[in-house]
Amino acid sequence: MWSRHTQDTILALIFSVWLGVYGEHEQGTLLTVNDVASYLNVPFNVKDRDVFHITTEEYLLALTDLTEELARLAVNSVTLGDYQRPLQISKFVKDLHAGFQILNLKNDILRRKSDAIKYNVSGALPAESRRY
């Protein structure tokens, strides 16, 4: 019932930290699922009792959403004359995509969304070459 809202909250947190506008992390830092749980003061992957918690699936789906936001940011950065950020985004999304390829995803929605990361990689790449 709360899964999509939880994913959106996780996305907002990891995107804010990645941008360097929240927390004490360097720009470009990816929060682990345990970091997210700690920030939100919510347990992670509780199976022995019925309580609100963050699941691995919610975290991974938030990461796929993050790549979509970063692809948009790459294009907007070039438009604003920031040519370094798309390079940083491209490397980060490529690394994230490589991590997803290692996983043996059986969940249909998660597998489809992780497959979409490669399109977000290609969306960030053209932004690297849009210097005028």
User: Is the model more confident about 51 or about 72?
Assistant: 72
pLDDT above 70: residue 123: no
Q: Which of 109, 96, 106 is nearest to 3 (CA)?
A: 109
Rounded Cα distance, 97 and 80, in Å: 26
pTM of the model: 0.84
Would you state the pLDDT for residue 46?
85
User: Is the model more confident about 32 or about 118?
Assistant: 32
pLDDT above 70: residue 88: yes
User: Is the model more confident about 52 or about 10?
Assistant: 10
